[in-house]
Structure 1
Amino acid sequence: MEAALLTFVQTVNSYLSNYVLIILLIGTGLFFTIKTRFVQVRCFGEGLKGVFGNFSLNGGKHKSGMSSFQALATAIAAQVGTGNIVGACGAILIGGPGAIFWMWVIAFLGMATNYAEAVLAQKTRRVDADGTVHGGPVYYIRTAFKGKFGKFLAGFFAIAIVLALGIMGCMVQSNSIASTCNTAFGIPTWIMGLIIVIAGGFIFLGGVSRIASVTEKMVPIMAVIYLIGGIGVLIVNASEVPAAFALIFECAFNPQASVGGVTFGLIAALSQGAKRGLFSNEAGMGSTPHAHAMANVKNPHEQGVVAIVAVFVDTFVVVTITALTCIVTLYVGDGLLAQGLYDSVDKTNMAQIAFGSLFGTAGGNIFVAVCLLFFAFSTIISWNLFAKINIEYLFGKKAVPVFSCIALVFIFIGSLLANDLVWELADMFNQLMVLPNAIALIALGGAVSMCAKTRGQKMEFADKKAESADAE
């Protein structure tokens, strides 16, 4: 039954990622890039200033919501996870080194999409009398489409994100943590699963303020450690770096490009780049707007430009380091894959082999295991928060504690399951989330364009749909 389910899900994913996802991601990214007049370029410096101007490892508690940097850290925690290490390695193995080029393209366009998601999440968020903030795609979907159609799309999105991130996605993260720690330290996967559940449950119970406090400290530290290790690998293999870049561009455009006797097609590179790009930076997926909605900022544009930086850090920094370390050590020179030894490498040990060129085999295993532990665990924290926001939208506050318990059970189960089925299920629900989110974003494109044009001084919805949604 598991084999039959895997085959079915893989078939669905092939259509979604090869056709629907590519069209939606590239189309939506192009739409907002043009509509906002390349906001990801014009306002990138403004975004960096917003990030580092609010940088703090101890932003403190807020009466409602989060600081802008805490919201950014929570968003990056969701983005920088297994997809940046195991996902990027899987994209290279299946689609070839050229897949990374298409991940860059998706990310560049996604920076504009993420801007749109953040400003709409800010504009349509709700604040209760007790200061509780509610925001995310379900609210701007209802703003874009009134009546039953809007309710259907919002409900579809809410169910998809609960399954994609709150259940399947967290299983992927715990699975990767457990498997890498087992390889590096010999820790049984079930013990690692219990540790994740206990630590996760403690943070979940602390609510938004505890999540913000953890992510604002964990994200900067884990990113710096990983980047230092990656740069070290590139320095050791400096002579192979030019060849690595050349291979990336060759495999991205040449349908007959081959490495170690294996030919990588253009469609495979583009498909893997789009699919893993989405799983990595999440632009257009509708997950990170939940964090950006909670930011206490002067206007939506202020958080929108910060959201641009989140995608940049995720893909152009972290994913690129992962890709380059793997390519310079495995695909060029006398690397294992350059020699055609594909049976000795898979997506779960690829990064460990790459970092082993600097730290030794045991050291590489330990370094990647520790980094992945923090990357994936921070993602579990953020994804659980996003799922709970949608559980509350669907079923009310009383359902949230029940869901938290269910989610913890699946996190434990994920640590024990085989990789392929878990990854494929997570991919399927991730891609289904894109459909209602992208439709709503495009429908409200005029408001996003106005916000980018006036830098937040003006942002109006064309036919007062926002007021109508509020009234409902």
Structure 2
Amino acid sequence: MEKFLSTVENVNNAVNGFVWGLPMLVLLVGTGILMTCLTKFFQISHFKHWVSNTIGGIFKDSHVTAHTKKNDTQISQFQSLCTALAATIGTGNIAGVAAAIASGGPGAIFWMWIVAFFGMMTNFSENVLGIYYRRRNERNEWCGGAMYYLRDGLGSKPGCKVAGSVLAVLFSIFCILASFGIGNMGQINSIAVNMNTAFGIPSIVTGILLMIIASLVIVGGLKRIASVTEKLVPFMAIIYMVGAIIVCIMHIDQLGAVFTSIIKSAFGLRAVGGGIVGSGVAMAVQWGMKRGVFSNEAGLGSSVIVHSSSNVREPVVQGMWGIFEVFADTIIVCSITAFAVLSSGLVDLETGVVTSSQVSTALVAEAFSTVFGKFGYAFIAIAILLFAFSTTLGWSQYGSKAFEYLFGRKNIKFYHIIFVVFIVFGATMDLTLAWDLSDTFNGMMAIPNLIGVLSLSGTVMQITHNYVQRVILHQNVKPMLSAIDDIQALHEKEL
């Protein structure tokens, strides 16, 4: 058995080296750059428009209710955002940022920002395609995601029918496997370890309690998950950011030095032994890109699954929520975590070397403890509990939709049962190999998804241009709302 596990580990390490290697990261960022250019820098040129129609719009009653019908089986645009954020805002925003700083120096944060900037338009494109190619299931729920625009979008191109169908199946398989690993056991294990360290709660107790709570939420389906996440996500994000901002304020005198360190380290301008370290730039770029992609998941094709369940009719409108998702996850949450760590004296801002012996979440906890004392460790343990558990809820929806695509709606309860049982395993097992495997499957989701986004980039450009003409420039042109004629006709009547 040990020999078998060793073989699996060696094979996985080789595959993982490619999946999360520099060529793949360049492809991920390159897709974002391409979509940014094709949409004429939409995230900048229409900044005011997408802000007012996303987070700015939730304060307007008309925005919340305009496309919502009584007894509708769908969820609101804000609920779809919160469910997606529940899956993306997780341990990556705490442990991932600390790992990026420890391995790539403060400069990794700059490259994380760059990845997020272009990742906004990758996520935008995924959401646009998700809405455009989605369809109804037998329960009148919207079903969309990379598997649908691969099968019906890429598959509609000459000679690509088989390729589109195969890639759709592969994406679904990788999504299901990743949902059990990174989306479930890895997150639950982080919770159990932190709760045991901070409060002495046995891992098995944590696992059983979380299994019970998760089963009550997950078995209720998407609407119950969305109902929970729309309350949990804003609460957990605000509480965490308030704590991190207090840490930053208490070290306000260091903020100028922190920003200078980030910029200098990003371009190898920090002095070490009187010279410039070129290899430091490569490490900063690689770790910043890797942790940035891992944090916001832009390009992996995961969050589009739940975004496609929104009651929105305009593909570009949900695309704008995708822009905000990346902005909130990386530009806001990850940046505040980074400034809290870097301003707390745990990193030498001249050399970029971590002076603390702590790693991962413990490094962030130590940063909080410089202000809150022992309560800082408890605060981070609770933050991990909320962040990681919400990630599990979000990924349960990703996995269930991928399972539904492969095996049909009737068998979805089978997936739900296995998913909640694995929560106990996640709390009590040593998951080093399981985490590594699921990390690989998570990255492998990106391959078919990016093929779909790149092959349909022209469609995204046309839909975006059509929206700008109609909504922003007020020109009288026929809307592009769905690739399916019946849905297109219905939406045109409802607009």
Same fold (TM over 0.5): yes
Say if 1:20 and 1:411 are closer, same or farther in 2 by CA, change over 3 A.
Answer: farther
| Matches of 1:334 and 1:289, distance apart in 2 | 38
Residue 442 of structure 1 pairs with residue 454 of structure 2: yes
Query: Residue in 1 aligned with 2:105?
Result: 96
Q: CA deviation at 1:298?
A: 3.3
| Matches of 1:459 and 1:18, distance apart in 2 | 40
Query: Residue in 1 aligned with 2:24?
Result: 21
Query: Residue in 1 aligned with 2:423?
Result: 411
Q: Which amino acid aligns with 1:28?
A: T
Q: CA deviation at 1:8?
A: 4.2
Query: Residue in 2 aligned with 1:234?
Result: 248
Residue 366 of structure 1 pairs with residue 378 of structure 2: yes
Query: Residue in 2 aligned with 1:130?
Result: 139
Residue 9 of structure 1 pairs with residue 12 of structure 2: yes
Say if 1:66 and 1:81 are closer, same or farther in 2 by CA, change over 3 A.
Answer: same
Query: Residue in 1 aligned with 2:365?
Result: 352
Q: CA deviation at 1:3?
A: 5.9
Is contact 2:180-2:438 (8 Å) kept?
no
Number of aligned positions between the proteins: 461
Is contact 1:167-1:410 (8 Å) kept?
no
Residue 216 (structure 1) aligned to one of 216, 227, 230:
230
Query: Residue in 2 aligned with 1:198?
Result: 212
Q: Normalising by structure 1, what TM-score?
A: 0.90
SS in 2 for 1:295: coil
Query: Residue in 2 aligned with 1:310?
Result: 325
| Matches of 1:98 and 1:165, distance apart in 2 | 31
Residue 158 (structure 1) aligned to one of 172, 191, 211:
172
Query: Residue in 1 aligned with 2:389?
Result: 377
Is contact 1:62-1:209 (8 Å) kept?
no
Greater displacement, 432-441 / 451-460: 451-460
Is contact 1:126-1:135 (8 Å) kept?
yes
Is contact 2:77-2:310 (8 Å) kept?
yes
Q: Which amino acid aligns with 2:83?
A: T
Query: Residue in 2 aligned with 1:113?
Result: 122
| Matches of 2:152 and 2:305, distance apart in 1 | 16
Q: CA deviation at 1:282?
A: 0.7
| Matches of 1:20 and 1:465, distance apart in 2 | 32
| Matches of 2:296 and 2:114, distance apart in 1 | 12
Say if 1:294 and 1:330 are closer, same or farther in 2 by CA, change over 3 A.
Answer: same
| Matches of 1:87 and 1:38, distance apart in 2 | 28
| Matches of 1:148 and 1:338, distance apart in 2 | 50
Is contact 2:112-2:289 (8 Å) kept?
yes
Is contact 1:447-1:460 (8 Å) kept?
no
Cα distance per residue 1:425-472 (max 9 Å; x no partner) = 2321121111100110111111211222232756659xx9867xx9xx
Query: Residue in 1 aligned with 2:299?
Result: 284
SS in 2 for 1:77: helix
SS in 2 for 1:345: coil
Q: Which amino acid aligns with 2:22?
A: Y
Q: Which amino acid aligns with 1:345?
A: Q
| Matches of 1:132 and 1:345, distance apart in 2 | 46
Q: Which amino acid aligns with 2:231?
A: K
SS in 2 for 1:54: helix
Give the alignment of 1:70-81 within 5 angstroms.
70-81=79-90
| Matches of 2:444 and 2:197, distance apart in 1 | 33
SS in 1 for 2:371: helix
Residue 400 of structure 1 pairs with residue 382 of structure 2: no
| Matches of 2:11 and 2:248, distance apart in 1 | 40
Identity %: 38
Residue 338 (structure 2) aligned to one of 301, 311, 323:
323
SS in 1 for 2:454: helix
Is contact 1:113-1:284 (8 Å) kept?
yes
Q: CA deviation at 1:99?
A: 1.5
Say if 1:254 and 1:295 are closer, same or farther in 2 by CA, change over 3 A.
Answer: same
Q: Which amino acid aligns with 1:238?
A: I
Residue 427 of structure 1 pairs with residue 439 of structure 2: yes
Structure 2: runs of 5+ lacking an equivalent:
156-160, 471-477, 489-495
| Matches of 1:365 and 1:168, distance apart in 2 | 23
Structure 1: runs of 5+ lacking an equivalent:
none
Query: Residue in 2 aligned with 1:249?
Result: 263
| Matches of 2:106 and 2:353, distance apart in 1 | 15
Cα distance per residue 1:123-158 (max 9 Å; x no partner) = 111113532221111000112332221111001100
Is contact 2:150-2:164 (8 Å) kept?
yes
Is contact 1:330-1:338 (8 Å) kept?
no
| Matches of 1:102 and 1:143, distance apart in 2 | 35
RMSD: 2.8
Is contact 1:251-1:257 (8 Å) kept?
no
Greater displacement, 382-391 / 12-21: 12-21
| Matches of 2:324 and 2:48, distance apart in 1 | 9
Cα distance per residue 1:288-328 (max 9 Å; x no partner) = 11111111123111111121111100001001111111111
Which of the pair has more CA radius of gyration?
2
| Matches of 2:439 and 2:13, distance apart in 1 | 9
Say if 1:258 and 1:400 are closer, same or farther in 2 by CA, change over 3 A.
Answer: farther
Is contact 2:267-2:281 (8 Å) kept?
yes
SS in 2 for 1:285: coil
Say if 1:415 and 1:219 are closer, same or farther in 2 by CA, change over 3 A.
Answer: same
| Matches of 1:69 and 1:228, distance apart in 2 | 22
Is contact 2:347-2:354 (8 Å) kept?
no
SS in 2 for 1:349: helix
Is contact 2:183-2:396 (8 Å) kept?
no
